[in-house]
Every structure is written in structure tokens, then in C-alpha cells.
Amino acid sequence: MPLVEIRSLTKIYPQGESMLGGKSRGKNEVRAVDDVSLDIHSGETLGLVGESGSGKSTLGRLILRLIEPTSGSIRFEDRDLLGASSGEMRRQRRDMQIIFQDPFASLDPRFRVEDIIAEPLIIHGNSHGSANDADVPPSSRFSRQGALTSRARRARVVELLRAVGLDESILQRFPHEFSGGQRQRIGIARALALRPKFIVADEPVSALDVSVGAQIVNLLAQLQRDFGLTYLFISHSMPVVRYLSTRIAVMYRGKIVEMGTTGQIVERPQHPYTRSLLEATPEVAV
Ligand SMILES: Nc1ncnc2c1ncn2[C@@H]1O[C@H](COP(=O)(O)OP(=O)(O)OP(=O)(O)O)[C@@H](O)[C@H]1O
Ligand SMILES: [Mg+2]
């Protein structure tokens, strides 16, 4: 059974969005995602590549139900996400998170690191204990509502910071005090807070310098091993995608035009667009 099962998923925007942010005139609906069917298996990284505007982000956001599809179906662990009630969807969301491209825009500048990472724990009244809560007596670990106490919550935040290569010295600092790579680590810690099974990483290293990006890519690979994560990894960069991915799907104008194991795609690309992508990117070790 696949972790994520997508069938005939379609998202049509009545009018396209121009690069300038304005709406273009006339009847030019955009089939941002056009009849896409694919499975994502537990523990794998499915790399999603394609040119700008091909529908990668739209597909990633549809899977998390951050936007609603025009038609089609999405199942997560064999549960129908589109038919889910808001309560069911709320529970489901804990298992599915997103890491964004821009670590500057994705962290609220008014909040301290501790509050940014703890926010999902508070919103979800989280009752996920952890091994490192062992020093907190069980009776005081949770409030009566089932939420983590502030002490247990801080312990969890520190545990998350360490998992992403940071430490508790930064708990009280603000996002603007950090570099892009450090901010991306904070965003990743936040995404991990609820122990998700599935993460959509939407160009998580595109805004970073190559060497910093490579460190984040290695961190994502490490976290996948440590926490058994499944990724949909969206990127323009073929070298990064082939390094991380179990399989690769190639998107072109809203459709998946080619999908296979990383070896198949890299060694025997079938679609002209895939070939041009591979030709455009020399082999670079990450
Ligand atoms: N909210 C929206 N309203 C109208 N059109 C949209 C909207 N969001 C996306 N689109 C259009 O849908 C298409 C797919 O966009 P999407 O952002 O998914 O592409 P992408 O592959 O992620 O591109 P990039 O690599 O630049 O991030 C584009 O033509 C885009 O203009
Ligand atoms: Mg995008």
C-alpha cells in the first residue's frame, strides 16, 4: 500500500497568474495540474522536477490540501483526504508537513525561535511524548487538556533543534539574527515538531548558496534515516534530485511526462524534456 496515492488529480485556475502578479485577461484557464496519477511509497524520496510553471508547487500543495483540487482523489495511508471532515483533516495534517523555498519569508519575524518551533505543538495540543521527556515526571508532562506542559514543550523544542544541528543557545533569538541556512534548519525543526511521516520539500535549497544547500540536502537525508520520513522533493536542480531521490517524476505543463527509478531516468531518459534537463546540468557531486 502506497503512503500517498494520487489519482487523476487536476487543478484548473480560471485565469493564469502572470509573472508580474497581475491577472491576464481573457479566457485562458491554466491547467496547473492536469490529470496526475502517482504513488509515493513509505520511506522513499520522490524527486519532482520540471521547468518553472510546470505545476510542481501546485501538486505539492494539493497533496497537503493547502489548496483544493478541481477534481481527482488523494489517499494518505489509504484514507480519502478529499472526503475527510475538518477534524479528520486536522489529525491528518500532523502527519504531513511542508518545507518552503524561502527561509526568510516562511518564519514569522515577530516570534522567537522557541515559539516558532513550539507553535505546532501548541496548536495541536500535542501529546507526543519523547524519549528526552524522561526527566519530566509523567504526571507533569501533560496538562489536563492533554497538551504538553511548557517544560516538556521546551525539552521537545531543544530535541528538535539538536536534530537539525542547532542548540538551545538560540531559543530566545529572532529569525533575522540567522543566515539563510540556519533559518532553513529552524523551518525544518518546525516541520518535524509533530513527528510527520510525509514531507513536501518545495525547493528547500534553491534560495541558498551551493555549499549551504548541500549541507541542508545532507541534513534532509540524515533526518529521513533517523525518522523514517517520506519526501516529495521538488527542485529545478537535477544534481540535487538525483542525489536524494529513490525515484524521479518529470513534470511538464501540468502533466507527469516521465517517471522511474533515479537510475532509469538518468541513464535512459525517454522524454525530450527530461533529456534537455539532464543535458543542461552537468554531473556535480553534492
Ligand atoms: N493562485 C494561482 N492563480 C492562478 N494561476 C496560478 C496560481 N498558482 C499557480 N498558478 C499557475 O499555475 C501554473 C503552475 O504553477 P506552479 O507554481 O505550480 O509551478 P512550479 O512548477 O512550482 O513553478 P516554479 O518552478 O517557478 O516554482 C503556472 O502557470 C502558474 O502561473
Ligand atoms: Mg514552485
* pLDDT of res. 203: 95
- Between CA 44 and CA 41 the distance in angstroms is 6
Q: Which residue, among 84, 75, 95, has the nearest Cα to 9 in the 3D structure?
A: 75
- Closest atom of ligand 1 to 50 CA is 21
* Lowest-pLDDT range of 122-126, 164-168, 246-250: 122-126
Nearest Cα neighbor of 190 from 145, 156, 219, 139 is 156
Q: Is the CB of 55 under 6 A from ligand 1?
A: yes
Q: What digits encode the pLDDT tens for the residues 5-58?
A: 999 999 999 976 655 555 555 568 999 999 999 999 999 999 999 989 999 999
Centre of ligand 1 from the C-alpha of residue 138, in Å: 48
Q: What pLDDT, on the 0 to 100 scale, is given for residue 139?
A: 47
- Residue 203 alpha carbon, nearest atom of ligand 1: 27
DSSP-derived 3-state class of residue 216: helix
Ligand 2 mean position, distance from CA 234 (Å): 8
- Which atom of ligand 1 is nearest to 23's Cα? 4
Q: Which three cell numbers stand for residue 33?
A: 495540474
Answer whether 57 contacts ligand 1 (Cβ < 6 A): yes
For 103-127, what is the mean pLDDT? 86
pLDDT of residue 16: 63
13 in contact with ligand 1, CB cutoff 6 A: yes
Q: Which ligand 1 atom is at minimum distance from the Cα of 51?
A: 25
Amino acid identity of residue 157, one-letter, is: V
pLDDT tens profile 49-95: 998 999 999 999 999 999 999 999 999 999 999 988 888 888 888 99
The answer for residues whose C-beta is within 8 angstroms of residue 64's C-beta and 6 or more apart is: 93, 96, 97, 98, 200
- CB-ligand 1 contact for 182 (6 Å cutoff): no
Q: Does the Cβ of 21 fall within 6 Å of ligand 1?
A: no
pTM of the model: 0.88
Q: What are phi and psi of 125, to 5 degrees?
A: 45, 50
- Identity at 115, one-letter amino acid code: D
Q: Which of 37, 45, 33 shows the shortest CA–CA distance to 5?
A: 37
Asked whether 53 lines ligand 1 (CB < 6 A), one says: yes
Give 181-237 pLDDT, tens digit per residue: 999 999 999 999 999 999 999 999 998 999 999 999 999 999 999 999 999 999 988
Cβ pair 106, 187 in contact under 8 A:
yes
What type of residue sits at position 155?
A
Q: How many CB atoms lie within 10 A of CB 27?
A: 6
pLDDT band at 134 (very low <50, low <70, confident <90, very high): very low
Does the C-beta of 54 come closer than 6 Å to ligand 1?
yes
DSSP letter at 24? P
